[in-house]
Amino acid sequence: MKKRKLLAAVGLSLAVALTACSGGKTTETSGTTGAAQETSEAAKDVAPIQAEEDEKKSDKDSMIVAMDREPASLDPNGNNVVVKRMIDNCIYDTLLKFDENLTPVASLAESWEQVDDTTWKFNLRKDVKFHDGTPLTSKDVLFSFKRLANSSNGNNLADHFDPEGYEAPDDYTFILKTTTPYAFVEATLCSPGLAIVPEAEVEKVGDDAFGRNPVGSGPYKFVSWTAGDSIVIEKNEDYWGDQSILNTILSVLLLRAPVVPLIWRAVVLILPYPFQTPMQTGLQRTQTPS
């Protein structure tokens, strides 16, 4: 079977990470940024990291991500820290999501319409289940948005929304209102910070416990969190969406580590410190001949 060798240099773009979580293909990029150059300097004496990638998915394939810091919580109802959002995007789903052209497309909402200048109607998929097996309904969407409105965690993504205008007229319809006409409703709803959580589970365990043992409906489900060491998530075999994704992602939390050893058949990605915005940093990939 033909194989390609990928040389993965180390500056991680959030866009690349999110593509990996959603099962999309990664586009090759070139050029350097300040963050990528800093990381390159830190690792200049380290041999390049190589990984073989089969054209057909292996039952051992995985990804290891080295982070420069540990998130305080994996509750999407929290501050908008990039390293946290990368994991959130794998565990949770949002009403809409960005495609490869950064255009909002259907996700949990299979269709939607703008009713008037400040009112939006979303029709939810009926085949979505949370990782604990419970169905995702508009009640969970309503709960998630109202919970965000009552949050003091620094997540201001819903500042343009009107909590008094949220409605769930039936199990698979959600009504959202904005305080004034707002042109970026669809783009805002793609953010992992507006991910949908199960009302019953959050009410059962509380916010803090949920943030350390999260339950979502996304392509990966939470496995374990060893403080200061690693967060492990695995493929959600019952995912409603694309199943052509890695079986396991292991996020290794190592402070100030320029590189981490290659484990299994993984591409090692490193979040540089200080971390730059997705527009400022990128993953450099060089393809070598097979």
Q: What are the 10-residue block averages of pLDDT along the chain, 290 residues in total?
A: 33 39 43 42 41 44 75 84 83 96 97 98 98 98 91 74 96 98 96 95 96 96 89 92 78 55 46 36 32
Q: Answer yes or no: is 86 within a domain.
A: no
* Domain end among 166, 197, 228: 197
Q: For residue 75, is it within any domain?
A: no
Same domain, 127 and 186: yes
Report the predicted TM-score, pTM, of the whole model to 2 decimal places: 0.71
The predicted pLDDT at position 181 comes to 96
Q: Is residue 50 one of the residues assigned to a domain?
A: yes
Q: Are 64 and 104 part of one and the same domain?
A: no
**pLDDT of amino acid 177:** 97
Indicate if 64 and 123 belong to the same structural domain. Answer: no
Buried b (16+ CB within 10 A) or exposed e, 225-249: beeeebbbbbbbeebbbeeebbbbb
Residues 58, 100 within the same domain: no
Domain count, the chain: 2
Q: Is residue 203 part of a domain?
A: no
Whether 187 and 228 share a structural domain: no
Instruction: Confirm whether 202 is domain-assigned.
Output: no
Tokens 């299979």, located at residue: 110
Quote the pLDDT of residue 30: 39
Domain-embedded: residue 123: yes
Same domain, 169 and 107: yes
Q: Is residue 82 part of a domain?
A: no
Q: Both ends of the chain: CA-CA distance in Å?
A: 11
Q: Supply the pLDDT for residue 69.
A: 76
Does a structural domain hold residue 251? yes
Identify the pLDDT of residue 154. 55
Q: What is the CATH number of the domain that holds 146?
A: 3.90.76.10
Instruction: Report pLDDT for 17.
Output: 44
Its domain, for residue 105, covers 96-197
Question: Among the three residues 165, 197, 229, which one is the final residue of a domain in this structure?
Answer: 197
